[in-house]
Amino acid sequence: MPKRIITLLLLFFVTGVATAQKKIPTPAEVLGFAPGEDRKLASWDQVVDYFQKLDAASDRVVFETLGNTTRGKPFVMATISSPANLARLEEFRKIQDQLADPRKLGPLATRDRKAAELIRQGKTIVLITCGIHSTEVGSYLSSTLIAHRLASSTDADVQKILDNTIVLLVPSLNPDGVDIVKNWYDKTLGTPFEGTDPPELYHKYTGHDNNRDWYAFTQVETQLTVDKIHNVWHPQIVHDIHQQGSFGSRLFLPPYMAPVEPNVPKALVQGYTELGNWMAAEMRNKGFEGITTNSTYDAWSPARAYSHYHAGVRMLSETASARIASPLTLKFEELRSREGYDPQKESPKFGPLWRGGEWHLGDITKYMTTAAFLLLDHAATNREQWLRRFYAVGKEAVRPRRAGELFGFLIEPSVNTEALLDILKRGGVEMSSAKQGNSFRVGTNELPNNTMLVRLDQPYGAFAKALLEVQRYPNLRDADGHPIAPYDVTAHTLPLLMNVTVHPVKAPFRNLRGTPTKLGPSEKYVETSARFQSMPAFYHSSVPNQDEGWTKWIFDSKKISYGELGDKELRAGISVYKPSAGVTVKYYTIIIPDQPARTLLEGYRSGAMPPELTGGLGAQGVKTLRDFVETGGTLIFLNRASNFAIEQFKLPLRNAVAGLPRTDFYVPGSILRIQLDTSHPLAAGMPEETIAWAEDSPVFEVTNDPEATVPASNVHVVASYAADKDPLLSGWLLGGDLIKGKAALVEVTMGKGRVILFGFRPQYRAQSLATYPLFFNSLGSR
């Protein structure tokens, strides 16, 4: 018998009444503690158990499993509304579908009238997502409190929310991390390490980067959320509940600070500005302190905001953190400025002052649940306004393009075109090929068969445009003239990241104009384990490293096997490469993922974590790695890790941009242009010009340092920034002249082996397919 029926029967016998609605379990009854209590975390099983019991007891809640997480746990969602609305879900979904795509409303002349009728009938769809960052424990706990109140309250304001909205509640976007964090927290409870972050990525592959996947769609959790929630329901409001550091504001709410990515519809900017400012004002009226708006978080990257390109506002909230579930005490003088405000001073972007004191998990859940119910109140009270705005965004999106306006993009077939088109398709973008027997043309040139046209006059044309065009990040400076750091990175041009030739097309679409985004042809590249002499090994840092995680995801998705060597093994000086002595060779190649040189060398500081986790590679680890190379191994250093190799191996190289102030040189996640020596095996199959994903990246200059362990002639420059071209292709770069003519990828022979230094991220977040061959060539047999 299904569990749900058993529970219902049980309730029937216990209470003796036919309606189960009266016995709504509280989170405390199921979890054994009230969410928000100090030092208490729930496991994922407990959370699922709570929602199952809520579903069984309440006619306002439908709970379902949408799929499995990376580690095989249930990925779940609760749909919450009035029983009358829940009985008509399919009807409301159809209303959303038509308002999202006004072409479905029939002839132009009658669309507005039909839309007005649907707007009158429809509900505001609100998606609430919790817990994508698993150390930010307040939100998955708050999800049970939010659900319980919605399921049980007889208050008029809750009834209004239930009648006017459909709430899609995701208790965690990363269920795997719930248990990773809880296990570590419980293990260290009562020790000097209570409240520290776990020493492993809380998402198997992406760690904290899991909310930077909203256009690449690489992870199953992202795919489930997009395929089964966003694309089904097209929510008007997405409330994404996060936590920030402990020392700034108590709460951030939108509007976002500049810049806003230019393809985010103005109506959505107005929407999140109005809603965020109203929520902040209401929170202040209720006596909440330390609230900031229009600061810290920008709206630039589609990587963090799927809804901004799909007619919904993203309402990020960021509440100050405690030490996981343990309280902390803060002095007012300890509070620190973030971008746009000073928590020690009232300003239009911050107030009223929070005077410091104790900060508990219970404060976090109180801020979160209050903000969530205010958001729901606004969504319910202004239901028709939210639906009108939603329809207006769709209407503007599908409007025929006027002469001279951008009409669309033509995408040529090539090695990675399918990967690019898959992204657009998942984001709801329609595309077409030329009519049978015809082909698209650029001037007098015919484009290849299977060239695809993506028109912009479609519901999610802005998503395509944002990803297909080049970014020109504004040169933002603070009052002192210092560059204002972007919240994340500054570029997301897929044709460059994936080396796909794309032509912008103007209306009317007769012939093509403008400059194509074009790098040059590259060969089909097939990676298999068989290609390598032996399995490569990852250096596994004791300090969790996202670049390591992303790279392992790439390997796993291509079914390439790999090994792993930690600090302990490398410090012990194990013999990893001795083929001549007849010893079984385990690894010929070790990958050192992107990590600061100091973290590699020192790891966690002594006393910061249990002793077995501290100390990094240390001098012994350096010696092991040097021996490994000198006896014939290959060491691959990615991005910042290259600085470690230069310093510790005393290579005849210097990082030409080390220590430069941001006013002189700054590249916070941008796509640059490099030239390759295609005669070198590392650049085999590559075009002469390609990209480099630069992000706090070193830039190499060969030196004649007499102290160096090898002569300068041992350095082979494989890639460099052109002496006579602007290095910037997309994003933001300050001081580009300083790197012209300098090296971006070098191979240094050392003894019988070699060291390969990437001055960029060739496999950046599993997106820079254009430079995968450089990375895989470095693993290949020599």
Least Å distance, CB 758 to Zn ion, is 28
Q: Please report how the helices 383-398 and 266-285 are oriented relative to each other, as an axis angle in degrees rounded to 10.
A: 160
* Per-residue tokens: 189: 């409870």
Phi/psi of residue 253, nearest 5 degrees = -135, 155
Q: Based on CB atoms, which residue is closest to Zn ion, 133 or 148?
A: 133
Which stretch of DSSP H or E encloses residue 180? helix 175-188
Contact 738, 660 (CB under 8 A): yes
Q: Based on CB atoms, which residue is closest to Zn ion, 212 or 540?
A: 212
Give, in order, the Cα–Cα distances in Å from 192 to each of 21, 57, 493, 605: 46, 42, 46, 14
Least Å distance, CB 211 to Zn ion, is 7
Least Å distance, CB 488 to Zn ion, is 12
Contact 455, 407 (CB under 8 A): yes
For Zn ion, the binding residues (CB under 5 A) are 133, 242
Q: Based on CB atoms, which residue is closest to Zn ion, 53 or 242?
A: 242
Least Å distance, CB 207 to Zn ion, is 11
Contact 414, 500 (CB under 8 A): yes
Contact 261, 469 (CB under 8 A): no
Contact 298, 289 (CB under 8 A): no
* Per-residue tokens: 125: 């769809």
Least Å distance, CB 244 to Zn ion, is 7
Give, in order, the Cα–Cα distances in Å from 89 to each of 115, 205, 381, 734: 18, 35, 20, 52
Q: Based on CB atoms, which residue is closest to Zn ion, 242 or 754?
A: 242
- Enumerate the β-bridge partners of residue 252: 292, 318
* Per-residue tokens: 692: 């480099």
259: preceding bond cis by omega (within 30 degrees) = yes
Amino acid 96 reads: Q
Least Å distance, CB 241 to Zn ion, is 9
Least Å distance, CB 132 to Zn ion, is 6
Residue labelled with tokens 């707007």: 119
- Provide the 10 A C-beta neighbour count for residue 444: 6
Burial class from Cβ neighbours inside 10 Å (0-12, 13-18, 19+) for residue 685 reads middle
Contact 243, 307 (CB under 8 A): no
Q: What is the DSSP string of 671-705?
A: EEEEEE-TTSGGGTT--SEEEEEEES---EEE---
Q: Based on CB atoms, which residue is closest to Zn ion, 164 or 244?
A: 244
Q: Based on CB atoms, which residue is closest to Zn ion, 242 or 465?
A: 242
CA dihedral 436, 442, 446, 452 (to 10 degrees): -40
Q: Based on CB atoms, which residue is closest to Zn ion, 242 or 492?
A: 242
Closest CA to 451 of 435, 466, 469, 462: 435
What is the pairing mode between strands 728-730 and 406-411?
Answer: unpaired
Dihedral sign from CA coordinates of 463, 469, 470, 471: negative
Burial class from Cβ neighbours inside 10 Å (0-12, 13-18, 19+) for residue 544 reads middle
Question: Whole-angstrom Cα distance, residue 255 to residue 276?
Answer: 6
Q: Based on CB atoms, which residue is closest to Zn ion, 319 or 493?
A: 319
Q: Based on CB atoms, which residue is closest to Zn ion, 133 or 455?
A: 133
Give, in order, the Cα–Cα distances in Å from 69 to each of 72, 76, 242, 480: 5, 10, 20, 46
Three-state secondary-structure class, residue 382 = coil
Cα first-last separation, the chain = 62
Q: Based on CB atoms, which residue is closest to Zn ion, 133 or 314?
A: 133
Least Å distance, CB 365 to Zn ion, is 16
Reported for 21-26, long-range contacts at CB under 8 A and 24+ positions apart, including other chains, are 21/57, 21/58, 21/59, 23/57, 24/54, 24/57, 24/58, 24/148, 24/151, 24/152, 25/50, 25/53, 25/54, 25/57, 25/148, 26/148, 26/152
Q: Based on CB atoms, which residue is closest to Zn ion, 244 or 517?
A: 244
Residue labelled with tokens 């291509």: 558
Least Å distance, CB 135 to Zn ion, is 8
* Per-residue tokens: 119: 């707007």
Q: Based on CB atoms, which residue is closest to Zn ion, 53 or 133?
A: 133
- Enumerate the β-bridge partners of residue 359: 328
Closest CA to 196 of 610, 536, 541: 610
Q: Based on CB atoms, which residue is closest to Zn ion, 129 or 720?
A: 129
Q: Based on CB atoms, which residue is closest to Zn ion, 242 or 742?
A: 242
Give, in order, the Cα–Cα distances in Å from 675 to each of 502, 642, 692: 21, 19, 10
Question: Whole-angstrom Cα distance, residue 755 to residue 718?
Answer: 13
Question: Whole-angstrom Cα distance, residue 661 to residue 317?
Answer: 32
What is the pairing mode between strands 350-351 and 291-293?
Answer: antiparallel
Q: Based on CB atoms, which residue is closest to Zn ion, 211 or 639?
A: 211
Question: Whole-angstrom Cα distance, residue 184 to residue 676?
Answer: 46
Q: What does the DSSP 8-state code read for residue 496?
A: H
